[in-house]
Amino acid sequence: MAKSSSLLITFTASTIIVLSMLISSTRARASAGICYNSIISFGDSLADTGNLIRLTSSNSPPDHFFLPPYGESFFQHPTGRCSDGRLIIDFIAENLGLHLIQPYLAGKDFGEGVNFAVAGATAIDDSFFRERGIHNPFTNVSLGTQLGWFKDMLDSFCSKPSDRKKFLQSSLVLMGEIGGNDYNHALLQGRKLEEVKSFVPAVVRTISSAIKELIESGAVTLIVPGNLPIGCSAAYLTYFQSSDKDDYDMATGCIKWLNKFSKYHNKILKTEINRIRELHPHATINYADYYNAAMRLYRSPNKYGFKEGALTACCGAGGPYNYNASVPCGYPPSTSCDNPSLYVSWDGLHLTEAAYRWIARGLLQGPYSTPPINRICIPAPTSAGLVLQY
């Protein structure tokens, strides 16, 4: 009897300790404004953590994104991420105390979130571009496709409507970046700016429709990123290289008219976000200012540790910006720099892990998300709501 009493006391003490740790952890996360249980992500190559690599047929030659030196700075091998290491979504997950978010097509446990983003994905359906003779070289996945995956995931992961609502209410939804490829594929295939600019209302309507559908499904906290300054991209700087000095911003070396286009998209998107806020006042919809979060790196690269400058790609095959569309990073004879952390641009179209870290910091701590992500907090569960599993 004494032995049983001793075991009971030990078990009870252990239970109290575990319970106290869980309560303390929950309170600490809540007090820090970090109280999301999961992340749900949509988007393109700025957020893809491994979906495109799983969509690619084993019989086709590997895309350069899936070859070294991609992933070298953190993972030490390619993961399907279009960078030398982690992306913005990875830094957000780490900051929120979550594991790195699994790509949907990995088919693993989605308890801490799921990522539907696919490199090359567009907001508008691929048929829109095929009708106009614009080719997507990577995938036919659109935001609509990703929403379809999202619905399938909810059906399999959340068997009860109450579970579905609870999962979505405790999740941070990262809506993109999406829409950039709707313009990239067209502009880099020689379409005139006037034609591509006409796509903007349709792109923003598509993003808006997805946001509203997610809110109606139960999502209450959403981050909606704008587009990056494409006029600072090594790919665009190479493709639209000009002898006219007036085309360039003298302070950064970026192409002014391309950055003006990025700002135009962002302005229309922000206007639409404000409209959705009025329709759904119970939801928190934050605009993530990727444009200005990145522009500070181009304006003052040395201040942020980018000693090799901001416009030249770390990995490429030569040229004034070390970018050659016919020899992308990963294919010989392209080579990569010794230290990617000294560069903003990774492969000419995508940024380095170091640059993504700075952008993520600007979203998490401010001022490039209002309020900063770390200060948006859903109601934390009380100690009575904690369930211990053995």
Q: For residue range 193-221, what is the model confidence (pLDDT) as tens digits?
A: 999 999 999 999 999 999 999 999 999 99
Closest residue by Cα to residue 291 from 63, 19, 9, 46: 46
Active-site annotation holds for 45: yes
Query: pTM, whole model, 2 decimals?
Result: 0.88
Q: For residue range 117-168, what is the model confidence (pLDDT) as tens digits?
A: 999 999 999 999 999 999 999 999 999 999 999 999 998 888 788 888 889 9
Q: Given this model, what pLDDT does residue 2 score?
A: 45
Q: Given this model, what pLDDT does residue 375 score?
A: 79
- The active-site residue, picked from 64, 185, 265, 350, is 350
Q: Given this model, what pLDDT does residue 309 score?
A: 82
**Amino acid identity of 205?**
R
Active-site annotation holds for 350: yes
Domain extents for the chain?
32-227+252-293
Q: Given this model, what pLDDT does residue 24 score?
A: 38
Query: Which CATH code of 3.40.1350, 3.30.70, 1.10.287, 3.40.50 fits the domain covering 32-227+252-293?
Result: 3.40.50
Q: What are the C-alpha distances in Å from 244 to residues 206, 240, 250, 253, 256?
A: 36, 11, 12, 12, 12
- The active-site residue, picked from 48, 142, 347, 369, is 347
Q: Residue 385 gets which letter from DSSP?
A: G
Q: Given this model, what pLDDT does residue 386 score?
A: 27
Q: Given this model, what pLDDT does residue 110 score?
A: 85
- The active-site residue, picked from 41, 45, 171, 262, is 45
- Stretches in the chain below the pLDDT threshold 50: 1-34, 379-390
Pure H helices in the chain:
2-31, 51-55, 88-95, 126-130, 143-157, 161-169, 180-187, 193-197, 200-217, 234-239, 256-279, 290-299, 353-364
Q: Given this model, what pLDDT does residue 162 score?
A: 85
Active-site annotation holds for 64: no
